[in-house]
A = this chain, B = another copy of it.
Amino acid sequence: VVTPTLRDVALRAQVHPSTASRALNPETRPLVKPETAERVLQAASALGYLPNSIARGLKTNRSSSIGVLIPDLTNPLFPPIVRGIEDALLEAGYRALLVNTDNDPVREADQVASLRARQVDGLIVATARLEHPLVAGLAEEGFPIVLVNRRLESADIPAVTADDASGVAMAMRHIAGLGHRRVAHLAGPQWTSTGQTRLRAYRQAVLDLGLDADPALVVGADAWTEDQGSRAMEELVGRGTPFTAVLAGNDLIALGCYDVMYERGMRCPADVSVVGFNDMPFLDKLRPPLTTVRIPHYRIGTEAAHLLLQRIRDRQAPVKSILLPLSLVTRQSTAPPPSR
């Protein structure tokens, strides 16, 4: 096999080698006309020409790739995070190897073993549970790893998360400001840091705002899904405890809540106000448009990629985590409680 050279690429694209070189380097590419750059890159592709950055990586036995572990890409939370990760990695000449774990520990361990066999340089993990021996073990070993969205209970692992506690406080101030006193919480899974943080922040807000503190107002969902949201809402309604507003653990749980209200003829917001968490796409087109706490997902992705690349360059650097601010998006699912 003959390794193609820059000259071969230039010949095939019918440009001067210096032009080919500029076109192949992302930093100098803007100096070349887009049509020319496209032609050069096509020629490089057809010949299997190896840009220097990648050739260097192969020599140093680094793959310039990163494993990204998420529960399920079809959960609308993850595409913008993954897109952010990929955009930031691309700038640095890295690629993401995406893995869906479905929160199955065996599947996850298998996937991680296979990613490591492929020599990934690090991992970005969105599947963390509070207790997570696999992730804790990797971090202990010194393997470059960054968590997104969630944290572990015990280990100090770099993480990029949203400031969930402030987000819940914002949402609860909004609900209380409308005059609600009996606010229910459909809490997310308590084996995740997000589920736990949001429940704690809800309890804190109930105290701080002087709302009715009634344990019957809290129902747990076993997963961050619409189905579990429905199940939790059914349980809440079945308890017979009065309530005029619901803080859902996330938007999908809020959607399950909508389903139950629709079936039972409960009106939102006339009878019950509902608040979600995440601001996933198209919530503004729901009936009614959902009030929610916006998380900057794309930015979580880019920050996580930058943090991981820093760790890959310097494994001894002190651990650092990033907390991103949230904002409340007020739509039509929240209104004053019905007057008696």
Contact = CB atoms under 8 A, between A and B. Distances in A.
Interface of A: 24, 26, 29, 34, 37-38, 41-42, 44-46, 48-51, 54-55, 65, 72-74, 76, 78-80, 82-83, 86-87, 95-100, 105-106, 109-110, 112-114, 116-118, 133-134, 137-138, 141, 255, 258, 281-282, 285-288
Given A41-B112, A76-B282, 16 more contacts: A29-B106, A38-B106, A38-B109, A38-B134, A45-B109, A45-B113, A46-B138, A50-B117, A54-B117, A74-B79, A74-B83, A76-B76, A76-B79, A86-B99, A95-B97, A258-B285
7 nearest CB pairs, A to B: A41-B109, A287-B287, A45-B113, A44-B113, A54-B117, A73-B79, A50-B117
Nearest to A105: B38
A51 B37 CA distance: 40
A305 to B, nearest CB: 14
Nearest to A133: B42
Contacts of A55: 117
A98 to B, nearest CB: 6
**What secondary structure prevails in chain A residues at the interface with B?**
helix
Contacts of A65: 97, 118
A122 B70 CA distance: 24
A133 B42 CA distance: 9
Contacts of A44: 113
